Amino acid sequence: DGFWYYVVTHCDLNSTDSKDITFIRSYYYNKLEIVRFDSSVGRYVGYTELGVKNAEAWNSGPEVVQMRNEKERYCVNNVGNDYRSAVTKS
């Protein structure tokens, strides 16, 4: 009985080397991914009509520059702790 909008941010990694890390931020509306930023692509990609419009706007504004820097801030700065935690639990 309502609409759900949410954002999921995560890092995909194979090692602690920054070239092996991908930063992904996905935007969902009612369980459907509408737009995504993927650091390996370096821009937003839309998957629905609304997502394509948002991606076009965000790729031509300061949002895309901020997202390109998020890999370093969000993933690379924390990968050492995360990787050690995962390895000790395997």
Per-residue pLDDT 10s for the chain (90 aa) are 678 999 999 998 887 888 889 999 999 999 999 999 999 999 999 999 999 999 999 999 999 999 999 999 998 888 877 777 776 666
Domain range for residue 47? 5-88
Question: Which is it for strands 21-29 and 32-38: parallel, antiparallel or unpaired?
Answer: antiparallel
For the chain, the straight-line distance linking the first and the last C-alpha, in angstroms and rounded, comes to 41
Number of domains in the chain: 1
Q: How many Å apart are CA 57 and CA 54, to the nearest integer?
A: 5
Residues 6+ away with beta carbon under 8 Å from 43: 37, 55, 59, 64
CATH number of the structural domain spanning residue 81: 3.10.320.10
